[in-house]
C-alpha cells in the first residue's frame, strides 16, 4: 500500500484505532513508528490517570469532557489489552509494564499541547518493583499527582516528566523518605507542592517553591537549620 494512502488512514484515525492498526502487520507497525509526529492527528487529551493494581488502566481525559480507557491484564495464558469493546491478545511472554508504557509513549506522540493533569495511583499490587521507561520523550504536564507506597515508585514516575512548569501534588497515605526525591531535577524545578505529612520533609527541601501547601503534625527545631 502506498505511503500516502497509509498517511491518510492514520490522519483520520484516533490514537486507540492506531494502537489496533499497529497489530495488523509488521510493515504497518514500522511505518507508524517511523512516521514524523507532525503527521499524527491530535489526540485532544487533556489529562492522563494511571491506576496500577492487579493490572494497569489508563484513563484519558479529553477536551469534550469524555474519557477513553485502555486496560491491561494478564492471566497464565495471555496478556490482554482492552481498548473499549476491542480485546487484543499480546502473548504470554509479554511484560505487562513494558507493553503498557510502550503504548503510552506512542499515544503521547499524538499530544500537541501540555497536559493539565497527570495522575499515578499505586495500589497494593502483584508488582514487586515498578520501573517505568520511555526512551524518546518526557511527559509535559502542568500538575503531577502521585499516590505511591515507596520512594522508588515516586522516582520512577518523576523521571518520566518534563521538569519545566511542574506543580507537584500527592494524596499519599504511606510515609515516604525524601532524600532521593529532593535531589531530582523535577523536584528542584517544580513551582509548587501540595502534600500531607507522609513525606519526611526538611524545610530546606521546600524552600525553593514559590507556593506550597503542606499538612504537617509538627516541625522540630532541627528542621529550621
For the entire predicted model, the pTM comes to 0.78
Q: What confidence score (pLDDT) does residue 101 get? A: 83
pLDDT tens digits, one per residue of 185-196 = 888 888 888 876
Same-domain check for residues 28 and 98: no
Instruction: With beta carbons less than 8 A apart as the criterion, state whether 70 and 55 touch.
Output: no
pLDDT tier at 139, thresholds 50, 70, 90: confident
Distance CA 168, CA 170 (A): 7
Q: What is the DSSP string of 6-60?
A: HHHHHHTS-HHHHHHHTTT-HHHHHHHHHS-GGGSPP--EEEEEEEESSSEEEEE
Task: Return the CATH number at 3.
Answer: 1.20.1280
Same-domain check for residues 106 and 174: yes
Give Dmax (Cα) for the chain: 71
The strand pairing partners of 117, in sequence order, are: 47
pLDDT tier at 224, thresholds 50, 70, 90: very low
Asked whether residue 49 carries a pLDDT value surpassing 90, the answer given is yes
- Residue 98 grid coordinates: 513494558
Helix (H) or strand (E) segment spanning residue 194: strand 192-195
Give the position of cell 494512502. Answer: 5
**What is the mean pLDDT of the segment spanning 168-183?**
74
Same-domain check for residues 26 and 62: no
Q: Which of 110-114, 121-125, 155-159, 203-207 has the lowest mean pLDDT?
A: 121-125
Same-domain check for residues 92 and 172: yes
Amino acid at each position: 500500500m502506498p505511503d500516502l494512502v497509509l498517511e491518510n488512514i492514520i490522519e483520520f484515525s484516533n490514537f486507540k484505532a492506531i494502537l489496533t492498526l499497529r497489530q495488523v502487520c509488521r510493515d504497518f507497525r514500522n511505518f507508524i513508528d517511523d512516521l514524523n509526529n507532525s503527521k499524527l492527528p491530535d489526540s485532544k487529551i487533556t489529562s492522563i490517570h494511571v491506576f496500577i493494581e492487579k493490572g494497569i488502566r489508563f484513563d484519558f481525559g479529553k477536551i469534550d469532557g469524555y474519557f477513553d480507557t485502555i486496560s491491561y491484564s494478564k492471566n497464565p495464558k495471555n496478556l490482554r489489552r482492552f481498548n473499549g469493546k476491542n480485546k487484543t491478545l499480546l502473548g504470554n511472554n509479554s511484560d505487562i509494564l513494558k507493553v503498557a508504557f510502550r503504548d503510552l509513549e506512542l499515544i503521547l506522540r499524538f499530544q500537541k499541547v501540555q497536559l493539565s493533569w497527570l495522575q499515578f495511583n499505586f495500589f497494593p499490587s502483584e508488582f514487586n518493583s515498578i520501573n517505568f521507561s520511555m526512551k524518546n520523550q518526557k511527559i509535559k504536564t502542568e500538575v503531577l499527582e502521585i499516590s505511591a507506597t515507596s520512594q522508588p515508585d515516586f522516582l520512577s514516575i518523576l523521571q518520566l516528566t518534563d521538569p519545566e512548569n511542574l506543580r507537584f501534588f500527592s494524596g499519599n497515605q504511606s510515609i515516604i523518605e525524601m532524600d532521593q526525591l529532593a535531589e531530582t531535577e523535577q523536584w528542584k524545578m517544580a513551582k509548587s507542592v501540595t502534600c500531607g505529612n507522609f513525606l519526611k520533609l526538611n524545610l530546606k527541601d521546600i524552600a525553593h517553591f514559590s507556593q506550597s501547601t503542606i499538612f504537617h503534625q509538627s516541625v522540630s527545631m532541627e528542621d529550621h537549620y
